[in-house]
Structures are given as C-alpha cells and as structure tokens.
Amino acid sequence: MTARAKRAERRADGLSKERIVEAAIDILNSEGESALTFRALAAHLATGSGAIYWHVANKNELLAATANAVIARVMTDVVGDAEPREAIRAIAVGVFDAIDAHPWVGAQLSSEPWQTAILQIFEGIGGQLQALGVPERAQFDSASVLVSYVLGLAGQYAAGARLLPPETERSDFLATVAAQVDPAEYPFVHQVATQLREHDDREQFLAGIDLILAGIKTVR
C-alpha cells in the first residue's frame, strides 16, 4: 500500500461525517452561518481541510447534513406510543423549539423543498395523520398544510430573532411596535395590540396547530 493510500485510510478512519456535522453545529450555534468555513471547521477539529472534503463535498451539503441531524433528534424524541394528535403536536413543537434554538436551521430548511430534513418532518406528520384516520384523499393536503405552517411560522420567528440584537427585551420591543400602530389605518391590529405585546410565541404556534387539526378532523 502506498504512503498516500495509508494516509487516506487513516483519514477516513479517524474522522467520521458525524464528528464533522457535530463540529459544524457547534460553529453555527456559537458564531453563525457566515463563520462556518472548511478552514474554520478544520481548525475546530484539529485536522486538514482535505480530511473534511473526504466526507463532505461542499458547504451546501454540510448545511443540509447539520439540519438533518437536528431534525432527526426531534423525530427521535417523539414518543412512539403517543396518541396521533399529540404526536403531531410533539413533532410541531419539537421543530419549533429546534429552530428557535438554532435559527440557522430555519434558513436551511427554506433553501431546498425536498431535502432529507423536510422529508423526515413530512413522513412523521403524514404517518400520524394516517393513524388519526384521515381519509387517504385528504392526507397529502393535510400534511402539506401542517408542514407549511410549522416551517413557515417557526422560520419567521427565528428570522425575527436574528434581526434583533441579542440583548433586546422582547416585551419592550413588541410594546414599541404596538404603540406605533395607527388605529385609523389598522383598526384590527390596534384592537389586538395588547395581545401582540403580551402573547407567547410558542403557545400561539400550538394554538395554530390545534386549529388546523380541528379542521382536519371534520374531513370525511
């Protein structure tokens, strides 16, 4: 065996894709997407960039793998024997919490419609809709609505959080927004301004899931 082949073998054995993904998640969580480069990743892992390229072709593939790893944990945490409606709520809130904790996941999930992470969510929710007894003709539409709501709203909250400085006090910010609403131009928004200021994003998110599930229940 040549020296080059021996080096390649050691490189493949000593550094797994799982280790690379976990290191990438650490960088994304602490420094953000702009800080994730193969050079930074190599320094984090105390290896060379070539060893990383052995397992991951490019940054897009790496980002997809990190999102997939985070969502896989969400799906694993869903209780297997839970009642279907509660399992759907658990999947939804698990994805919400994951995106809230890792805002970069929301950006990655919106970048490619049928990446593995989204397929996991779609499969998990779709399977529970089948267990719930939703007619087959309505399963695709029902799953699509739920997945779109979960990814859309969770991603929206995450994007909002990324736009504000970390030290921003949420209630003060929302109070300022509510106070600036013109009651003549936006009468409904002015009416619910107090709720805007005081609402809990997670509770409101779950309320939306319950509304969708209530509608799905009426499908015959």
Please, what are the domains in the chain? Answer: 1-56 (1.10.10), 79-217 (1.10.357.10)
Return the beta strands (E) in the chain as ranges: none
By three-state DSSP, how is residue 80 classified?
Answer: coil
> In angstroms, how far is CA 19 from the centroid of its own chain?
20
**CA distance readout (Å), 124 to 17, 88, 134, 217, 219:** 25, 8, 14, 18, 20
Q: Record the pTM.
A: 0.80
Residues 6+ apart with CB under 8 A from 66: 21, 24, 25, 28, 104, 105, 108
Residues in the chain: 220
110-122 per-position pLDDT tens digit? 888 889 999 999 9
Determine the pLDDT at residue 62.
Answer: 95
